Amino acid sequence: MLFAKPVGKSWMLPFAVVGIGVAGVAFGDPLSEGRDMTSEIRNTEARISKLSNDASRKKDMVKINCLADKLSKVRGHIALASPALAALQTANDRGDAGARQHELTRITILSQKVAVLNTEAENCIGDDASYVGKTTVDVDVDPSIPEEDPTKGPLDTVPTNFRPPAASPFI
């Protein structure tokens, strides 16, 4: 059974037709869909960048590193989505349905990957998650343990005239 999901202003059927190679069939204007998805990718970059700036202000290095990783991946996807949108425009102007569908599929996949990265960025945890408060230590000593230190004995019990045995009996 196929379930259509909303993508921008139209609906997308998420299936792959074996032999034809269609990753999804869009109903609506592919160019506006591509623009909407590319715009959402850029909005995601701005959100992650804001999270990174907030972590920088708090000097939370764990969160900064996590967000920097996600942000660099999103920027890489933007670098791929921008030419794909331009190619979608070109294919749309030429009336090339196959190229139009291919470029829209590329943008859709990039949009989905960026959505996953956005979720991962929102879940980046930093130093604040590892700090739970002041540490207190409670020590319970078994009452059967003697108070005196058994390693400290009187110094006169160590023999002073003791000579170790010869290393070899032939000397």
Cα dihedral angle (122, 124, 127, 130), rounded to 10 degrees? 100
Q: What is the number of other CB atoms lying within 10 angstroms of the CB of residue 7?
A: 21
Buried b (16+ CB within 10 A) or exposed e, 120-135: ebeebebeeeeeeeee
Give the pLDDT confidence score for residue 12 in this predicted structure: 53
CB 13 within 8 A of CB 24: yes
* Mean of the per-residue pLDDT values of the chain: 80
Give the pLDDT confidence score for residue 124 in this predicted structure: 87
d(CA 72, CA 124): 15
Residue ranges in the chain whose pLDDT is less than 70: 1-27, 126-132, 153-160, 171
Beta-bridge partner residues of 26: 12
Cβ within 8 Å of residue 42, ≥6 positions away: 78
Give the pLDDT confidence score for residue 57 in this predicted structure: 92
What residues does each domain of the chain span?
5-130
Cβ within 8 Å of residue 61, ≥6 positions away: 126, 127
Give the pLDDT confidence score for residue 156 in this predicted structure: 61
pTM (two decimals): 0.59
Give the pLDDT confidence score for residue 33 in this predicted structure: 93
Give the pLDDT confidence score for residue 105 in this predicted structure: 94
Give the pLDDT confidence score for residue 128 in this predicted structure: 58
Give the pLDDT confidence score for residue 135 in this predicted structure: 82
Give the pLDDT confidence score for residue 23 in this predicted structure: 47
